[in-house]
Amino acid sequence: MANCGFYSDPCNERTYGVPDGQLYNVNPSCTQGSISWSYPKGTLRLFFAPTDLKDDMFAVCFQSHANKSTFDVLDATNGDKKPCKRISDTEVCTDYHTNGVIADVEAKGPLRYLDEIRYRIVTEDQKPPVVVNMP
């Protein structure tokens, strides 16, 4: 369930009452945007299937609002959950996939009223996700 409400951009979605672990379809016309999560708790399972990239390999990159690490993001596309690759100190990306990406966003820390995670979709011909060695 998404309700853009006061959000004027359909790629900036706000979730209400999505049950823990239930698949949430992100707007297929969007290649970047944000998802606001009310009272983040448990897992928000996101499905990305951009209509413009039906047969192309693509990854989804995520960044927490205000660069705070309030979520863990796992690539769950192939049924197993594996941590996303860190490409900078503030951004993580899934592996490249075709026909859709499933990402599990797991809330961590104390319960908050609202939190936001930003996303962008990158194709193989764009700068590929590269793992950054973090201290």
Q: Residue 54: which pLDDT band, with cuts at 50, 70 and 90? A: confident
What CATH number has the domain bearing residue 91?
2.60.120.380
- Within a domain: 5: no
User: Highest mean pLDDT: which of 73-77, 87-91, 129-133?
Assistant: 73-77
- Asked if pLDDT for residue 29 goes beyond 50, the answer is yes
Q: How far apart are CA 62 and CA 2, in angstroms?
A: 19
pLDDT score for 71: 84
| Backbone φ and ψ of 58, nearest 5° | -150, 155
pTM > 0.85: yes or no? no
- Within a domain: 39: yes
Q: Is 31 helix (H, G, I), strand (E, B) or coil?
A: coil
- Asked if pLDDT for residue 34 goes beyond 50, the answer is yes
Number of domains in the chain: 1
- Within a domain: 90: yes
- Within a domain: 85: yes
Domain range for 73? 12-123
pLDDT score for 48: 95
- Within a domain: 66: yes
- Within a domain: 135: no
pLDDT score for 40: 80
- Asked if pLDDT for residue 47 goes beyond 90, the answer is yes
Q: How far apart are CA 122 and CA 128, in angstroms?
A: 8
CB neighbours of residue 131 within 10 Å: 10
Summarised one tens digit per residue, pLDDT across range 15-28 is 876 778 888 899 99
What share of the chain in percent tops pLDDT 90? 35
Residue 80 CB contacts under 8 Å (≥ 6 apart), including other chains: none
- Within a domain: 133: no
Summarised one tens digit per residue, pLDDT across range 99-110 is 899 999 988 877
- Within a domain: 107: yes
